[in-house]
Structure 1
Amino acid sequence: MTFPRIDETHDAALTCWVEGAQGHGEFPVQNLPYGVFSHGDARRRLGVAIGEWVLDLAGIADLLPVGRDLLGAATLNGLFALPAADRLALRRMLSALLCDESKRARVAEHLHPAGECTLHLPAAIGDYTDFYVGIHHAADIGKLFRPDNPLLPNYKYVPIGYHGRASSIRPSGVPVRRPCGQRKAPEAAAPTFGPSARLDYELELGVWIGPGNALGETVPIGEAADHIAGFCLLNDWSARDFQAWEYVPLGPFLAKNFQSTISPWVVTAEALAPFRQAQPPRPEGDPRPLDYLWDETDQAHGGLGVELEVFITTAAMRAAGLAPHRLSHGPASNMYWTVQQMVTHHASNGCNLAPGDLLGTGTISAPVPDGYGSLMELSQGGKVKVALPGGEERTFLEDGDEIVLRACARREGYAAIGFGECRARVEPAR
């Protein structure tokens, strides 16, 4: 297993000439996430976030070690497909340009204020798969339906996942419309159709696939890190009432595919090099993963030192000028499987992954209530009301509620880097 290494681009002492970028809370020069933006016209461009600015990559293509054909594209798929060494060379050159005062005049003309830019989906997403690697969430949900046996026997052997809907993924800021569908109360004789009454959010990380694998070929666990281009935040909105009715026997369908929201900036695998950490050891008595999923280096460095948060504002809170209320927070280390194990298992049957495919981790919850990653857990399936500022309460989301996911990677001695917001507001059903 070869992970990106810590190098000069991670040095906390780097001095960046871009106004406001030095020590920026999310996008300092040590981050340099990629995205797709437009500014002033409808043309979509590849960009890099630096402080409160977006750098147009095509405008400085002659200074970079990557072809203009890739930098002039409207999606990041081409960059994702590059070998890890080429992506690293691009990061190093961008870092050097943004820290070299002599390059300011040449580069600065291609900086745009982030507030004037529109951010788009960073890639043409061919396929989307959502996993279920947050063990505390899986146990919490299982307890609601199977109090005596919350985790099914396969959970600790198989990185469970399902194929989601790529076409309904939207970037941060796009509202989510309350879906309509079938639901059936346990005491009812027949189902009914209508707007979801149990709309929920899910706190997840998204994993962007880099170089893929050919159909019929596998991705060995020792090579899985080479196939990961970067990460984002993911809110896999869920209609819990639809889900309870439809998930047997084939799993999630309309309860999940009406929309998923992602943060538009791709935090690269290279940027996260200082924040790699050991995967937490499995509890005593848990089975060792099968050989195709086991790698000592992955266990030693395959975890992520990322802190996750969920905030809510309601229409009443915004009208009263109240600050967003934090619903939960916790570390990404609450994942039972590493992202490398997710990639390897996905391709273990010969399934072909492609640049720009998106994997979700599934809801990442902590073992305590202030770290639960969904309202389904916080409200104990709708039995307990969650108190909000201003006297409001929630069991599930109401129209006008806005959910914001945030994340930050921190480690002593290194500059903290953020993921940007994953934000969407609930609109009424039609």
Structure 2
Amino acid sequence: MGGARLDGTHDPALRSWVPSADGHPDFPIQNLPLGIFSPTGGARRAGIAIGDRILDLRGIAGLLSGEAARFVEAAGETLNGALALGAGPRRALRLRICELLRQGSPERAGIEPHLHEAASCTLHLPAAVGDYTDFYVGIHHATNVGRQFRPDNPLLPNYKWVPIGYHGRASSVVPSGTPVRRPNGQRKPAAETVPSFGPSRNLDYELELGIWIGPGNELGEPVPIGEAADRIAGYCLLNDWSARDIQGWEYQPLGPFLAKNFATTISPWIVTPEALAPFRAPQAPRPDGDPAPLPYLADEADAASGALAIELEALLVTADMKAKGMAPHRLALSDARHMYWTAAQLVAHHASGGCNLRPGDLLGSGTLSGPDRASCGSLLEATNGGREPIALPSGEERRFLQDGDEVILSARCRREGFAPIGFGECRGAILPAPSA
């Protein structure tokens, strides 16, 4: 499996001379995620998160050589060129940065001037997203939603044969912290005889994993399943906001359109396959009676370690809760192991018809709900279509999101014998819709 090797960078005993790194909930020295940032008054540049600091990679270029230097040379105001290089340069950079930041490094004095306080920097999209595809591989989510419309047959006949997906809108992918304006669109509830145009009444979030593409493939040339993991440059959190009422009217016969294209929020750090090597897991066994994957999606190594044990959490804080200084309320706690198809299977299927994936393309997993109400990754599921509102500690209720609400996604990887790592936040606050 691409990027799945364990090495000294995963040693839980590793310590960094960066004071905030050891024990940091997201970015200890065992993580070292990649991103694009700009310090106050500075240009965009490539960086690595370490504790509550960001290491400017261009600033330490003189301490790099070989493949590690090649990665940094290919990175500019986006990481597309560097992601295109594949796992070799990315792994070499990780090894070298680990050497430079570990306790006792003789290079400390030369590195310290190139560490920036993350809180004073602006984080950007790590790559220019040429294309964005959203899949639907959270089987519990698909079942929960399908049950609301087809109680006796929630999953459509193709679901367990083919990874379902649709092409989203790349131009509206935004980094964490970007406000999200409530969309306008046509709505037609069953109780109304004709559609109307106006703000979405049923705005929702979706708890997803994002998958970044590294080396692409030529038009017309599929990616074999055994090579698909090598095309993945890393992962992020992804919130594919959804206007359920607009979607319910427009999606037949061609699928989501305005209900989805107004915003997709991602966490700004790319957590690499190398950092996630300790947290790989076997693909969830298919229930008895489910079909085996067709040969172009079947790979023994992928089945053995192609899943990821990533704890996923969604939180909500309302304007009233903020005013009262209240902590965010947990909406869901789920896990990436609830993906029915692996990330490698998504890549192989996407390219199987000859589609040319390109460095910096982004795939969404689809909503990753768990098997119970506490793990539902959307309000559509958690409130049973809005019929059973969620009670908040502020005394408020929510069927769907209101203006001023802020959704915060986070993730954590834990395994005995390894240092836990995280993804950073993926957050967005809802602004009122523009005048219709």
TM superposition score category, shorter chain reference: over 0.9
The answer for the alignment partner of 2:219 in structure 1 is: 215
Q: TM-score, normalised by structure 1?
A: 0.99
The answer for the alignment partner of 2:80 in structure 1 is: 77
The answer for the alignment partner of 2:393 in structure 1 is: 389
What is the Cα deviation at residue 189 of structure 1?
A: 1.8
What is the Cα deviation at residue 31 of structure 1?
A: 0.1
Q: Are the equivalent residues in 2 in contact too, given 1:46–1:71 (CA < 8 A)?
A: no
Between 1:219-228 and 1:93-102, the stretch displaced more is: 93-102
The partner residue of 1:420 within 419, 424, 428 is: 424
Q: Are the equivalent residues in 2 in contact too, given 1:26–1:408 (CA < 8 A)?
A: yes
- The answer as to 2:296 corresponding to 1:287 is no
Q: Are the equivalent residues in 1 in contact too, given 2:186–2:195 (CA < 8 A)?
A: yes
The answer for the alignment partner of 1:127 in structure 2 is: 131
Between 1:24-33 and 1:77-86, the stretch displaced more is: 77-86
For the aligned residue pairs, the C-alpha RMSD in angstroms reads 1.0
- CA distance in 2 between counterparts of 1:273 and 1:201 reads 29
- The answer as to 2:246 corresponding to 1:238 is no
Give, as a single letter, the amino acid of the residue that structure 2 aligns with 1:154.
N
Q: Are the equivalent residues in 2 in contact too, given 1:10–1:30 (CA < 8 A)?
A: yes
Cα deviations by residue, 1:135-184 (Å, 9 ceiling, x for unpaired): 00000110111111110000000000000000001000000000000010
What is the Cα deviation at residue 338 of structure 1?
A: 0.4
Give, as a single letter, the amino acid of the residue that structure 2 aligns with 1:173.
G
Percent sequence identity over aligned pairs: 63
Between 1:166-175 and 1:2-11, the stretch displaced more is: 2-11
SS state at 2:106 partner: helix
The answer for the alignment partner of 1:35 in structure 2 is: 35
The answer for the alignment partner of 1:198 in structure 2 is: 202
What is the Cα deviation at residue 386 of structure 1?
A: 0.4
The answer for the alignment partner of 1:5 in structure 2 is: 5
The answer for the alignment partner of 1:48 in structure 2 is: 48
- CA distance in 2 between counterparts of 1:370 and 1:40 reads 40
- CA distance in 1 between counterparts of 2:204 and 2:316 reads 12
SS state at 1:391 partner: coil
Between 1:107-116 and 1:35-44, the stretch displaced more is: 35-44
Give, as a single letter, the amino acid of the residue that structure 2 aligns with 1:4.
A
Unaligned runs of 5+ in 2: none
- CA distance in 1 between counterparts of 2:207 and 2:31 reads 22
SS state at 1:229 partner: strand
The answer for the alignment partner of 1:298 in structure 2 is: 302
- The answer as to 2:277 corresponding to 1:273 is yes
- The answer as to 2:112 corresponding to 1:112 is no
Give, as a single letter, the amino acid of the residue that structure 1 aligns with 2:317.
T
Give, as a single letter, the amino acid of the residue that structure 1 aligns with 2:276.
L
- CA distance in 1 between counterparts of 2:71 and 2:62 reads 8
What is the Cα deviation at residue 4 of structure 1?
A: 2.4
Give, as a single letter, the amino acid of the residue that structure 2 aligns with 1:267.
V
What is the Cα deviation at residue 78 of structure 1?
A: 1.3
The answer for the alignment partner of 2:343 in structure 1 is: 339
Identify if the C-alpha distance between structure 1 residues 127 and 361 changes in structure 2 by more than 3 Å, giving closer, same or farther: same
SS state at 1:245 partner: helix
Identify if the C-alpha distance between structure 1 residues 3 and 46 changes in structure 2 by more than 3 Å, giving closer, same or farther: closer
The partner residue of 2:95 within 88, 92, 96 is: 92
SS state at 1:389 partner: coil
SS state at 2:69 partner: coil
Q: Are the equivalent residues in 2 in contact too, given 1:61–1:71 (CA < 8 A)?
A: no
Q: Are the equivalent residues in 2 in contact too, given 1:61–1:68 (CA < 8 A)?
A: no
Q: TM-score, normalised by structure 2?
A: 0.97
Alignment length (residue pairs): 430
Q: Are the equivalent residues in 2 in contact too, given 1:37–1:118 (CA < 8 A)?
A: yes
- CA distance in 1 between counterparts of 2:58 and 2:49 reads 14
- CA distance in 1 between counterparts of 2:336 and 2:307 reads 8
- CA distance in 2 between counterparts of 1:71 and 1:83 reads 12
Identify if the C-alpha distance between structure 1 residues 52 and 2 changes in structure 2 by more than 3 Å, giving closer, same or farther: closer
Q: Are the equivalent residues in 2 in contact too, given 1:169–1:260 (CA < 8 A)?
A: yes
The answer for the alignment partner of 1:312 in structure 2 is: 316
Q: Are the equivalent residues in 1 in contact too, given 2:61–2:72 (CA < 8 A)?
A: no
Unaligned runs of 5+ in 1: none
What is the Cα deviation at residue 66 of structure 1?
A: 2.1
Between 1:114-123 and 1:95-104, the stretch displaced more is: 95-104
- CA distance in 1 between counterparts of 2:321 and 2:246 reads 28
Identify if the C-alpha distance between structure 1 residues 68 and 325 changes in structure 2 by more than 3 Å, giving closer, same or farther: closer
- CA distance in 1 between counterparts of 2:324 and 2:75 reads 45
- CA distance in 1 between counterparts of 2:129 and 2:326 reads 37
What is the Cα deviation at residue 187 of structure 1?
A: 2.9
The answer for the alignment partner of 1:145 in structure 2 is: 149
Give, as a single letter, the amino acid of the residue that structure 2 aligns with 1:357.
D
Cα deviations by residue, 1:96-139 (Å, 9 ceiling, x for unpaired): 11114311001111000111100001100000000000000000
